[in-house]
């Protein structure tokens, strides 16, 4: 975060921005990414970057030094002349390129040694990396965060394991999450202590994963109840039949009673999503009568015969 | 002879316990209660009692103060609005699956 971030880019302002522009940009971004306003796990780091950028650019003195010396400006002595610095950096670069071993500082300015990597930036800055929250406010627990976790209907039925990666701290970059069988859409899974970082030793917030069950080509979902189309030929619907139906829990036999019209729901009790704390959902097979798009000559003749002999009129009021 | 049954919620903290857990001075906690930012109830002797869940409220207040430079009145408003948004978002989530 600290290394390589361009403070102007972080705030989205040009290098020529006025102090007013910088403050305006900072206020807008701070409101947008404050961890209590924005529960996205990435928002907290963004907020800290924005705060750090503003801390540097809002002070005309540090801003001048940042403009002159770049990201390493904190390691440059107060009285360093920018021109001398540039020349010494160029010298340091050529030394590195030559493989080292040459007379040190041959072209560098006397009295200045540029040590890279020896200074721990965190030491120089103290509690700065807690963002603006780090200074003078005492320990503050971290905010709760929220992220969405999309799973399929089948995964919701059987349960699943997911590796989720978190931005920020390398130490907790990926988490193995156990999604229990029978989660419902919108349900929250709490990962204690995986949310926003607390400052000065205060507790971290929690990370909540909000389960999203992805739309499925066959299954529609209402809570734990599943709905699936049951496609029937006209004679199957009229005469009754037994149909094998794929469900998330495996194949099920559905008995279609004679005289079933489109829209009739046949309930398969307990064949919906399971429920660890009670009754599982049901699966509803919805009859949908299909006709051949291009009937054969024989089929056509039979339908015509049926039309001539039947006095059934679906539009007649009973 | 009969005694009134008094239910003593074990999880309720006293002012000092709550202030200690929040890392703030008890006087500040008292002011936050007066401002309606922190909710408290009164014990049998009229002393303040706090639910542990209010510790998260205090933490959020501190983050908003430190991160956005809000004063206590503004924190109270922002807190109320964030809570309302949370309720609305939860309701919105529930309606995303129209079901059947």
Please write the tens of the pLDDT for every residue from A185-207: 988 899 999 888 898 888 899 99
Give strand pairing partners of A247: A250
Place of tokens 């040009």: A14
Nearest by Cα to A69 from A79, A82, A59? A82
To the nearest whole angstrom, how far is the Cα of B79 from the nearest Cα of chain A?
A: 9
Query: What is the rounded average pLDDT of the residues A37-43?
Result: 90
Q: With contacts defined as CB-CB under 8 Å, which chain B residues touch A51?
A: 67
In this predicted structure, the answer to whether residue B36 has a pLDDT above a threshold of 90 is no
> Residue A271: which residues within 8 A CB-CB, separation 6 or more?
A226, A247, A249, A252, A280, A282, A283
For an interface test with A, the pick among B67, B70, B84, B99 (most A C-beta atoms closer than 10 Å) comes out as B67
Residue A231 contacts residue A271 (beta carbons within 8 Å): no
In this predicted structure, the answer to whether residue A135 has a pLDDT above a threshold of 70 is no
The helix (run of H) or strand (run of E) holding residue B41 is: strand B41-42
Q: What's chain A look like in SS3?
A: CCCCCCHHHHHCCCCCCCHHHHHHHHHHHHHHHCCCCCCCCCHHHHHHHHHHHHHHHCCHHHHHHHHHHHHHHHHCCCCCCHHHHHHHHHHHHHHHHCCCCCCCCCCCCCCCCCCCCCCCHHHHHHHHHHHHHHCCCCCECCCCEEEEEEECHHHHHHCEEEEEECCCCHHHCEEEEEECCCCCCCCEEEECCCCCCCECCCCCCCEEEEEEECCCCCCEEECCEEEEEEEECHHHHHHCEEEEEEECCEEEEEEECCCCCCCCEEEECCCCCCCCCCCCCCEEEEEEECCCCCCCHHHHHHHHHHHHHCCCCCCCCC
pLDDT (0 to 100) of residue A174: 81
For an interface test with B, the pick among A26, A31, A32, A36 (most B C-beta atoms closer than 10 Å) comes out as A36
pTM: 0.69
CB contact under 8 Å between B63 and A143, yes or no, is yes
Confidence of residue A312 (pLDDT cuts 50, 70, 90): very high
Query: What is the rounded average pLDDT of the residues A207-214?
Result: 92
Confidence of residue A114 (pLDDT cuts 50, 70, 90): very low
A34, A140, A222 member nearest B100 (Cβ): A222
Q: With contacts defined as CB-CB under 8 Å, which chain A residues touch B65?
A: 137
- The two structure tokens encoding residue A218: 């066959």
A30, A140, A185 member nearest B62 (Cβ): A140
> Residue B42: which residues within 8 A CB-CB, separation 6 or more?
B48, B49
In this predicted structure, the answer to whether residue B96 has a pLDDT above a threshold of 60 is no
CA A31, CA A55: separation in Å to the nearest integer?
A: 16
Query: What is the rounded average pLDDT of the residues B9-36?
Result: 89
Q: Which residue of A has its CA nearest to B56?
A: A141
In this predicted structure, the answer to whether residue A151 has a pLDDT above a threshold of 80 is yes
Please write the tens of the pLDDT for every residue from A65-90: 899 888 888 877 777 777 776 676 66
Q: With contacts defined as CB-CB under 8 Å, which chain B residues touch A220?
A: 99-100
CB contact under 8 Å between B97 and A221, yes or no, is yes
The phi and psi torsions of A228 (rounded to 5 degrees) equal -140, 145
A131, A143, A227 member nearest B60 (Cβ): A143
Residue B13 DSSP SS3 = strand
Q: With contacts defined as CB-CB under 8 Å, which chain A residues touch B78?
A: 36
Please write the tens of the pLDDT for every residue from B45-72: 889 999 999 999 999 999 999 888 899 8
Q: With contacts defined as CB-CB under 8 Å, which chain B residues touch A143?
A: 59-60, 63
Looking at the predicted complex, does its ipTM rise above 0.85? no
Mean pLDDT, chain A, whole residue set: 82
CA A149, CA A159: separation in Å to the nearest integer?
A: 13
In terms of phi and psi (left: phi > 0; alpha: psi -120 to 50; beta: otherwise), the region of A99 is left
CA A176, CA A194: separation in Å to the nearest integer?
A: 12
Is B10 exposed, middle or buried (CB count within 10 Å of its CB: 0-12, 13-18, 19+)?
Answer: exposed
CA A18, CA B99: separation in Å to the nearest integer?
A: 53
B68 shares contact with chain A (CB less than 8 Å): yes
Please write the tens of the pLDDT for every residue from A173-186: 688 899 999 899 98
CA B62, CA A139: separation in Å to the nearest integer?
A: 9
Q: With contacts defined as CB-CB under 8 Å, which chain A residues touch B56?
A: 141, 144
In this predicted structure, the answer to whether residue A117 has a pLDDT above a threshold of 80 is no
The phi and psi torsions of A175 (rounded to 5 degrees) equal -130, 135
Residues of chain B above pLDDT 90, percent = 52
B68, B78, B100 member nearest A227 (Cβ): B100
Give strand pairing partners of A254: A243
Mean pLDDT, chain B, whole residue set: 84
Residue B42 DSSP SS3 = strand
């Amino acid at each position: 975060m600290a290394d390589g971030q361009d403070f102007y880019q972080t705030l989205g302002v040009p290098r020529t921005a006025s102090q007013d522009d910088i403050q305006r940009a900072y206020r807008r971004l701070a409101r947008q990414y404050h961890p209590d306003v924005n529960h996205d796990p990435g928002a907290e780091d963004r907020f800290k970057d924005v705060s750090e950028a503003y801390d540097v650019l809002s002070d005309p003195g540090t801003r001048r030094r940042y403009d002159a010396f770049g990201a390493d400006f904190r390691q440059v002595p107060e009285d360093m002349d920018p021109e001398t610095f540039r020349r010494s950096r160029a010298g340091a670069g050529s030394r590195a390129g030559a493989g080292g071993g040459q007379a040190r500082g041959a072209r560098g300015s006397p009295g200045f040694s540029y040590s890279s990597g020896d200074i721990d930036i965190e030491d120089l800055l103290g509690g700065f990396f807690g963002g603006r929250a780090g200074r003078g406010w005492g320990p503050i627990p971290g905010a709760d965060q929220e992220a969405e976790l999309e799973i399929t209907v089948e995964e919701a039925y059987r349960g699943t394991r997911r590796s989720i990666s978190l931005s920020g701290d390398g130490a907790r970059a990926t988490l193995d999450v156990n999604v229990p069988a029978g989660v419902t859409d919108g349900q929250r899974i709490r990962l204690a202590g995986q949310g926003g970082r607390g400052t000065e030793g205060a507790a971290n917030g929690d990370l909540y994963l909000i389960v999203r069950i992805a739309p499925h080509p066959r299954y529609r979902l209402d809570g734990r109840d599943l709905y699936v189309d049951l496609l029937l030929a006209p004679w199957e619907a009229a005469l009754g039949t037994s149909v094998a139906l794929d469900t998330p829990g495996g194949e099920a036999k559905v008995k279609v009673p004679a005289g079933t019209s489109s829209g009739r729901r046949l309930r398969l009790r307990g064949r919906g999503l399971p429920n660890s704390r009670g009754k599982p959902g049901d699966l509803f097979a919805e009859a949908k009568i299909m006709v051949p798009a291009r009937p054969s000559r024989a089929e056509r003749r039979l339908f015509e015969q049926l039309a001539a002999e039947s006095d059934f009129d679906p539009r007649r009021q009973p | 002879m009969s005694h009134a049954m008094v239910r003593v919620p074990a999880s309720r903290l006293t002012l000092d316990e709550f202030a200690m857990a929040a890392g703030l001075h008890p006087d500040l906690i008292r002011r936050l209660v007066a401002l309606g930012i922190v909710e408290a109830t009164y014990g049998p002797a009229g002393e303040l009692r706090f639910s542990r869940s209010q510790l998260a409220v205090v933490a959020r207040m501190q983050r908003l103060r430190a991160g956005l430079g809000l004063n206590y009145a503004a924190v109270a408003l922002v807190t109320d609005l964030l809570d309302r948004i949370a309720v609305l978002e939860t309701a919105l989530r529930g309606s995303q699956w129209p079901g059947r």
